Amino acid sequence: MGILLLVLVKRAILSKLLESLNRKEIYILLGARQVGKSTLMQMLAKEAGQSYRFLNLEDPRDLAVFNDGYTSFIKEVKEDLIFIDEFHYYSNITSVFKAIYDLNPPKKIYASGSSSLEIHKHLKESLAGRNINLKIYPLSFNEFLGQFDLKLPELEEHIEIKQLDELKNKLGHFIRYGAMPGLIELQEHNDFELIASEKLYSIYQTYISKDIKTFLKDESIINFNKLIEYFAINDAQMLSVGSVANKLKIPESQIRKQLDVMTGTYTLNLLQPFFKNKNKEISKSPKAYFYDQGIANAILQDFRVFDKRNEQGQGALLESFVYWELVKSIDIRFKLNYWRSYDEQEVDFILQKDGELLPIEVKRNHDKVPSGLKAFIRDYPETKQAVVLTLDGEDMVDIKYKDTVVRFFSVIKAARLKTLLA
């Protein structure tokens, strides 16, 4: 099973990891369960072409390697390339990492973990300058397409009708079953729908049993289940803790704690509002995005195809898809927010780089400049370009609104938008 994944799932971040082999820093791969961290390390080991050793600290036998900290580690592990899975299970791992970096033995460390809460709990000492953290996400749409020998078109590349139909078909599948790498090996199975839904729900159950019960020992797991179902239903919506507390009859304090757990285990991302003119933009509530649509559908037991969803549901699916495509494609040089004005005009996303703004609006179908974009452009006339993403945006011509060029693209190309701020 693992070998099949190594062959099939090509991750874009692998090239970055290969380049890091000659760097001294300890690389820490962070992300939700089952997003492919262990597989990535296996792929890296295979490509590196040198002796290596894998340690999974959930296994007591591997954990015993650290019985005497750095001393026993150096004695027991002879290989120069070491991969440590679920490294936070050893509470004093920081001391080992620091010793490896400072004493400079000929060893290169890659470590992975699925919970930033556990990691921050155990890594109490500063590793400043000694480690590089990399977030690992579920597959991007381009990585998903690669499994079918397809490629995401470049932003300015025109998509022919036949190709667009094929890509939209794949998009529908991607939205329906999500981006977890473990589903790739199931694609050709006759009972794919049943097996995929079972696997996705199993991932969710493992998350509850392994992560949540660790952090919420004294909390109500029932309330947590209610809250996570709420976010699965209300994906890409504004988050008001007070409103959620009233709807679910859960104390606000408990919701805030459980939100910390969800974000700390990479299950939920919060998108903060764009602030520049604070007198006008008064919204302080973030928007919440569930990390994988397939997991959300499994929680809700709702795998309806895109066209069977109502208009609001379709809009949320497309917005969530675009959000994660942007997050997976940008780096630390970019900043992502949403915008909402005092009079409730909204723009789905504001992508920023070096002070330049790119407002992005997501619509199922639209052939005009949306009112939210117009409001943003009026308030920020320095905006050079704006984007409308739709399912059929390829044949739309640019529209000039004031001094801003509004461009129309297919939602499929969301990951390519960063090139407009190059």
Q: What pLDDT, in 10s, does the model give residues 115-125? A: 766 666 655 55
Confidence grade of residue 7 (pLDDT, cut at 50, 70, 90): very low
Q: Give SS3 for 386.
A: strand
pLDDT average, residue stretch 169-178: 96
pLDDT average, residue stretch 269-294: 83
Confidence grade of residue 401 (pLDDT, cut at 50, 70, 90): very high
Confidence grade of residue 4 (pLDDT, cut at 50, 70, 90): very low
pLDDT attached to residue 208 = 85
Confidence check: pLDDT of 51 > 80? yes
Confidence check: pLDDT of 350 > 70? yes
pLDDT attached to residue 120 = 65
Greater model confidence, 1 or 167 = 167
Confidence check: pLDDT of 351 > 80? yes
Q: Give SS3 for 250.
A: coil
Q: What is the pTM of this model?
A: 0.92
- Mean pLDDT lowest for which of 117-121, 135-139, 363-367? 117-121
pLDDT attached to residue 181 = 93
Confidence check: pLDDT of 135 > 90? yes
- Separation CA 402–CA 166 (nearest Å): 36
Tokens of 41: 């390390």
pLDDT attached to residue 283 = 55
pLDDT attached to residue 118 = 66
- Separation CA 126–CA 102 (nearest Å): 13
Confidence check: pLDDT of 279 > 70? no
Confidence check: pLDDT of 284 > 90? no
Residue indicated by tokens 């529209």: 399
pLDDT attached to residue 277 = 60
Tokens of 177: 């079953």
Q: Where are the domains of the chain?
A: 2-136, 143-421
Distance of CA 346 to the CA centre of its chain: 23
Confidence grade of residue 422 (pLDDT, cut at 50, 70, 90): confident
pLDDT attached to residue 53 = 96
Tell me the percentage of the chain whose pLDDT exceeds 90: 74
Greater model confidence, 370 or 342 = 370
2-136 CATH, one of 3.40.50.620, 3.30.1490.20, 3.30.450.30, 3.40.50.300: 3.40.50.300
Helix (H) or strand (E) holding 389, with range, is strand 385-390
Confidence check: pLDDT of 65 > 60? yes
pLDDT average, residue stretch 391-416: 92
Q: Closest Cα to residue 170, out of 148, 202, 191?
A: 148
Confidence check: pLDDT of 1 > 60? no
Contact residues for 16 (Cβ-Cβ < 8 A; gap 6+): 134
Contact 367, 361 (CB under 8 A): no
Confidence check: pLDDT of 219 > 80? no
Mean predicted lDDT score pLDDT of the chain: 90
Confidence check: pLDDT of 233 > 80? yes
In degrees rounded to 5, what are phi and psi of residue 80?
-90, -20
